[in-house]
Chain A
Amino acid sequence: MNNYYEYKIKNGDTLSGIIQSMFGCVRNDTRYAETVKHLLALNPQIKNLDRIRSGDMLRLGVLPSTPPPTARIAKTAHPGHIKTPTFITQAVHPSDSDNFWALAWLEHNANYLTIPGGIAMGASGNLLSPGNVNLINEVSDHYADFKSDRITKSQYDYRRKLALDKLKTNIGPFEKMMFGKNTTHQSIRIARSGGVPATAHIAKHADRLKNIAAISKSGGIVLAGVGLTAACMQIASATDAQEKNEIFVETITSTGVGVGLGFAVGLFLISNPIGWGAAIVLAVGSTATSYGLGKFTRFVYTQSGTKIDLVSGAGVNRLCQ
């Protein structure tokens, strides 16, 4: 954990004022030069401490072998306009520090998780669409027809082969993910030994797909949570209302368009089995479209010059702070 404060320099702040309020020493104090040296070491981005600018961040660390600054501040006459800065990491318990830094990373890199994750979850969800899963159930239905003498053995074999050929073509390279080391035809077969019901293998794989579906569903919830949390953190750390609103409109649009695309794809997939290529194209297309339209909404918001404060209006600034 870094041992420093982050202080945002305000209009009217001077270096001597900050040092006086935070470290309790004035210019003619013997420790003043030592404090300046210490601050320069903590802030390598600042070449000249006499030329600090409003809005810059200044790291203020505890001087070696001195009492904590808060103790000094309590005894020092406060310049009034300088408030005690928030020590971000002070409020974080040491046991939570890993989570704290993970969230800090997430704030800036959420797209690296949500975009590929969204594509993977979308593709697996599309592959497990009703059309494909029904092909597996068809085998079971054909077997029931065969056992009740509605079709002959060769008719059953032929229909089973047709359904499984189609499924194999549809899932393509995802066959291993779904059926492990066996092929589709080896996996979806009638059990002829082992004292289990004839459709035991089919039921087992239907259950397996059910589990993959559940994982996709949970993954979708986690990704949605990750995306919204990151957006909330970005809004919280944005420096002005304009930037907060830009992030807000981008997030709302991406989420809304993503949900709309899910609705549209759902209407389509309900009766159309699709192949693995189409599953990936749909997932990539959905993710790219919601991302792109989010960016475009931000662009439109910026270009329009509107001053409508959606973040405050929707109460998001109270939620994300």
Chain B
Amino acid sequence: MALADYLLPHEYVAAESGRVAVTNLRLIHHVPRGGAPLFREFSYGSMTGVRLSQRPRVTTVVLGALIAALSLLAEPGTTLQLVAAGLGAVAVLLGIIFGDLALVVSTVSDGGKPRRLPLRETSRREGEELTAIALAAMNGEYDFIPEPPPPPLAPPATARSVLLLPADDAARILETLGGDADALCLDLTTLVHPSRRNAARELARSAIAAAARAGLPMWVRMGLNEAEADMAACVRPGLSAVVAAAESPEDVQRLDALLGEMEGERGLRKRVRVVVQVETAAGVLALRDMLSTTPRVSAAIAATHDALDLLGRPDIRSVWAALRPPVLPETAHLRGRISAAATEAGVPVYACLATDIASDGLTEALGHDAAAWLAEGAAAARAHGCRGVVTLHPEAAEACNAIFPGSAMAVTPAAPAPSPWQPVVPSHFGIGVTRAEAAAAPVAKTNATADSNPTPSTAAPAPTVWQPVVPSHFGIGVPPRATGELDGASVDATSGAETPARGES
């Protein structure tokens, strides 16, 4: 894994030298070890000191001393002896003057034993500059890049399949990180027993970080009543969207305000989206107003399958999956309402597919034709104008990926022109990686794996996302790009919003 892959979506490298990178979030030491590189990271908050250290280069000094010692064996006063002694002395001197450079980092938890991070192939001047930046960063004095204005939100993009998972099920989360779904949605509501909510939040926190590293968009479904606690755990780099069963514009406003507060407190540049799950009649009626409450709203989930909630059915016979079609005909009016509201707001609608069937209950509920049932459901969802489905079943994700268009890139409108605000990254660390470059790597990877909608290899960051531009006279300039057809994809990969296809390692 390269350093660029290790970075979080909003993280960028301000300076890098000799395998030590100073990012806007932390200090990272990168040790390539074959297929399993090692990353050591130090958050600035935990660091108590950083200094440059230089130790004599042992091999050079020993070699010089050896040559000098061997010169004693030669006939005294001969040219050979003088040359050998001179060479030995010069080597020792060089070994001392040009010794091994290292960054020595002390942290609150190291028990007084500072960590020594070797700076390979780094000049003393580069080492000093890196140290100065790290020190300033540690003290909160380094102005990495001026704080940009709030980035415009990406145009709504879609995932073909969103896999719903109980947030307290670590095994399934791990399993699905490498699965077929375009995005994951951790559930902190009905799929988690109330007594396990806190544990689920802790696990969600880790899962979001893991998904971010895997380039997988991550949503979290939370209850309106517990949104504050759920957000406290989950609003962090890597969270793409919050899903909630809102019923009124006030509900959405509250989610928006809470998210805004937490993003501000945590210095998140990427704004977390809101996905409105419609599962009640009141929600259907208010959907149009809810979707226009804030630009944060990026999608609606139509839980029209859930006839019990939406139609208020007093019996539960139709819930037995084997007795019903994937899409209930009597929900036509509701689907029409939802579709019209979403179209007006310009956001995609996701259908729920078999979200009421237990993860290991497909065959029991649907018989051996489960795969056909799921495919039929996905096809029906597409026919009804949905852009993807939310499901509990990896099998359904597979079916959806085959049925829905490969990505949202082709269907999302072109984004607005880039902001005229263009910060400049100091480029005197010639080997520094800009945020844009860091962001570009997963984009390229993502596009390369979007099999049903291959993207040109010229994929570049989206103009809708804030990105620094390095003046070209430093030789490593990143030219501002024109608004293009890849906006949705780039935005997704860099900002963590919903992505139609994800990168694979």
A and B bind:
no
- Which residues of A approach B to under 8 Å, CB–CB? none
- Which residues of B approach A to under 8 Å, CB–CB? none
